[in-house]
Amino acid sequence: MEIKIMKNILDRNQNRANEVRELLAQKKVLMVNIISSPGAGKTTLLEHTCEALGARFRIGVIEGDITTDRDAQRLKKYNIPIVVINTEGGCHLDSHSISKVLGSFDLGNLDVLFVENVGNLICPSQFDLGETFKLAVVSTAEGDDKPGKYPMLFREARAVLLNKIDLIPYTNFSFENFSQDLKRINANVPLFQISCTKGDGMNGWYEWIGGQIEKR
């Protein structure tokens, strides 16, 4: 019985996601669904990305959070359109909540809409929001075994950002273990080794995401 209920919810989510995807394609807006564990660095990534690409592209952000608007507050200084969705305990965003808030954006004046999903490596990967693609962010401090243990997100991601590489010397993280695991799950996915706070590897990310926005 539970499976059937889940299937209905997923079907309804998929239908709405398809509508969202169609609308964004019409408006020529790239939507990036950013997924990670809590504290992997999604908001810091957005801060630096707004800083680096804000003059080149028209950026909007949807901030998914269980409660509080703290992440949105951190992005206010970039003077971009931001909408917060508080899930009030919910463990992921769904296409209905995205669809509802799209009306708050002037889509004709946007190039890219970043969606910062709720911090959760599991549930968000199961709900299509109508995004152009999913982006996986994972911190080296989480250990090198995450792709193998939480394969769903890594299988679906269009790119993987391995963040906090500056912490590797202080942990037992093995890049070899991590990349072997990842290759087994998603052989050709682009992998960026970055440190949002220290700046390492960020140019490669800016170049790649800039290319994705341009070819939307």
Binders of a second copy among residues 189 to 208 (CB under 8 A) are 197
- Judge whether 47 and 146 are in contact, CB under 8 Å: no
Kindly tell me which residue out of 17, 72, 118, 209 binds a second copy, with binding defined by CB under 8 A.
Answer: 118
SS3 assignment, position 133: strand
Q: Which amino acid, one-letter code, is at 212?
A: Q
126 makes contact with a second copy (CB under 8 A) = yes
Size of the site for a second copy (CB under 8 A): 39
Give burial (CB, 10 Å; 0-12/13-18/19+) of 135: buried
123 makes contact with a second copy (CB under 8 A) = yes
Stretch that binds a second copy, among 75-83, 154-162, 169-177, 205-213 (CB under 8 A): 169-177
Contact letters for a second copy, residues 19-38 (x by CB under 8 A): ------------------xx
- Phi, psi for residue 92 in degrees, rounded to 5: -160, 160
DSSP state of 109: G
Kindly tell me which residue out of 33, 120, 132, 193 binds a second copy, with binding defined by CB under 8 A.
Answer: 120
Query: Can you list the alpha helix ranges (DSSP code H) found in 54-190?
Result: 70-75, 95-102, 146-149, 151-156, 175-185
Closest CA to 178 of 199, 196, 164: 164
Q: Which residues, 6+ apart, have CB-to-CB distance to 176 below 8 Å?
A: none
Kindly tell me which residue out of 15, 28, 39, 77 binds a second copy, with binding defined by CB under 8 A.
Answer: 39
- Judge whether 139 and 164 are in contact, CB under 8 Å: yes
95 makes contact with a second copy (CB under 8 A) = no
Contact letters for a second copy, residues 54-93 (x by CB under 8 A): -----------xxxx-x------------------x-x--
Binding residues (CB under 8 A) for a second copy: these are: 2, 5, 9, 37-40, 65-68, 70, 89, 91, 118-123, 126, 139, 141-143, 145-146, 148-152, 164, 166-167, 170-172, 197
